[in-house]
Amino acid sequence: MWPFVRKRPSGFSSSSTAEEVTQGIDGTGLTAIITGASSGIGIETAQVLALRGVHVVMAVRNVSSGNAVKEAIVKEIPTARIDVMELDLSSMVSVRKFASEFDALDLPLNILINNAGVLATPFSLSQDGWELQFGTNHIGHFLLTNLLLEKMKSTSRKSGIEGRIIIVSSEGHRLTYWDGIRFNKINYGAEYQRYLAYGQSKLANILHANELARRLKEEGTNVTANSLHPGLIMTSLFRHQNSIINAAFGAVAKLATKTVQQGAATTCYVAMNPEVKGVTGKFFKDSNVCTPSSQALDHELAKKLWDFSMNIIQA
């Protein structure tokens, strides 16, 4: 971890863990969906929310892996309430199927954590024909959020408890194509650059959260939407990187990276901590509000992306 750690306004820092930022918080009666909950910080997020009494729905691509994680969590926390459901964010058919099956469970929905993602993959297309990182990291989550939004609004009205939508982005949003979102060239493989494409998808995550927050606030709905950077954590997200990059990264890893427990902290903080009540349309890092890039704060770009994404999911 970084050798010099400074406490921030929230009282937490880059070294804070998910358990620390949720200490003393009772989530009994709450239900949360976490995408990508069978690996990396998704596992820790699921475990800590379950520890605090939240009924966790693990939305995972590999159900057998999800069940193994569930068994491990229940072994450690016998009172944990966890369901495992299949979700492949690269397929809108799968996203719609998940939303329909969740609705059939007749559960409330207080917290939606859009955590899953892919990083710097070789150029390929999602099952719906979109560049894989944009299709998985943004479009899949955009559709999922859209399908679950009425359930969240209904839950907040009936319970009187604020609903929270958390979209896991990255500081990588700062490294994107010069125009931010290449609306006319998203699937253009000839100019594809994997890290810029990743940055584009993470910029889309923040723009999505900001525009969603604006719309929810305008409606007077008791549901918030925020985005965040979890920190640099060596997880399976790096599986597409070559050995030279990983070797170079490993040389400074002990100083630069977070543990999984620290990496899940900001997600758990934004999802559960009472300090965040009423806060919406913000970007968090190290369990504190921070300022994203100027492109991420571009309201017109956010609206354009919203309309573009709606056209995709309604096609």
Measured CA to CA, the distance from residue 53 to residue 60 in angstroms comes to: 21
What is the residue type of 79? T
φ, ψ dihedrals at 308, nearest 5°: -60, -45
Structure tokens at 157: 């009205």
φ, ψ dihedrals at 288, nearest 5°: -145, 150
Structure tokens at 80: 């944990």
pLDDT number for residue 6: 58
Residues classed as catalytic: 192
pLDDT one-digit tens code per residue, 113-161:
999 999 999 999 999 999 999 999 999 999 999 999 999 999 999 999 9
pLDDT number for residue 253: 45
Asked if residues 172 and 198 have their Cβ atoms less than 8 Å apart, the reply is yes
What is the residue type of 222? N
Ramachandran sector of residue 287 (left: φ over 0; alpha: ψ -120 to 50; beta: rest): left
Measured CA to CA in angstroms, residue 177 lies from 61, 255, 301 at distances of 29, 29, 14
pLDDT number for residue 242: 53
Strands 82-86, 111-114: parallel, antiparallel or unpaired by DSSP?
A: unpaired
Measured CA to CA, the distance from residue 81 to residue 90 in angstroms comes to: 27
- The overall pTM is greater than 0.85: yes
Measured CA to CA, the distance from residue 224 to residue 215 in angstroms comes to: 10
Measured CA to CA, the distance from residue 47 to residue 60 in angstroms comes to: 15
Asked if residues 20 and 12 have their Cβ atoms less than 8 Å apart, the reply is yes
Residues of the chain with pLDDT under 50: 1-5, 236-240, 244-255
pLDDT number for residue 91: 98
20-308 has which CATH code?
3.40.50.720
Q: Which residues contact 190 (CB under 8 A, 6 or more apart)?
A: none
